[in-house]
Amino acid sequence: MARYELQLPDEIMKDIQTIESGSDRIFAEMTEAGAKVAYNLIRSGLPKGIASSDMMRCLQITRSYRTPSDDGINTKVAFYGYFTNEKGQRVPAPLVAAVFEYGRSGKPFQKHPFMRKAFKNKAIEQAMMDAQSRASGGILDE
Amino acid sequence: MNELIETILNGLTVDGASVPFAFMYYEGHGEPYITYSEESIDNSFSGDNSLVGYVHYYDFDIYSTGNYFPIWEALRSVLEENGFIWQPSRSSSDYFEPDTHYYHRTFNFAYMWEEN
Residue A57 touches partner B, C-beta closer than 8 Å: no
Enumerate residues 6+ apart whose C-beta is below 8 A from B46: B52
Q: How would residue B106 be classed by pLDDT, with cut points 50, 70 and 90?
A: very high
Q: What is the pLDDT of residues A49-104, one digit of tens each?
A: 888 889 999 999 999 999 999 989 999 999 999 999 888 999 999 999 999 999 99
For chain A, give the percent of residues with pLDDT over 70. Answer: 99
Task: Work out the average pLDDT over A5-17.
Answer: 82
Nearest residue to B107 via CA among B65, B66, B73, B67: B73
Q: What is the pLDDT of residues B2-38, one digit of tens each?
A: 899 999 999 788 988 889 999 998 887 878 999 999 9
Cross-chain Cβ contact B59/A102 below 8 Å: yes
Residue A98 touches partner B, C-beta closer than 8 Å: yes
Rounded to two decimals, the ipTM of the complex is: 0.84
Task: Work out the average pLDDT over A15-35.
Answer: 89
Phi and psi at residue A76, to the nearest 5°: -105, 145
Average confidence score pLDDT of chain A: 89
Q: How far apart are CA B46 and CA A58, in angstroms?
A: 40
Closest chain B CA to residue A116: B90
Structural domains in chain B, sorted by start: 2-114 (3.30.2000.30)
Contacts with B, A 100-139, CB within 8 Å: 101-107, 110-111, 113, 116-117
For chain B, give the percent of residues with pLDDT over 90. Answer: 64
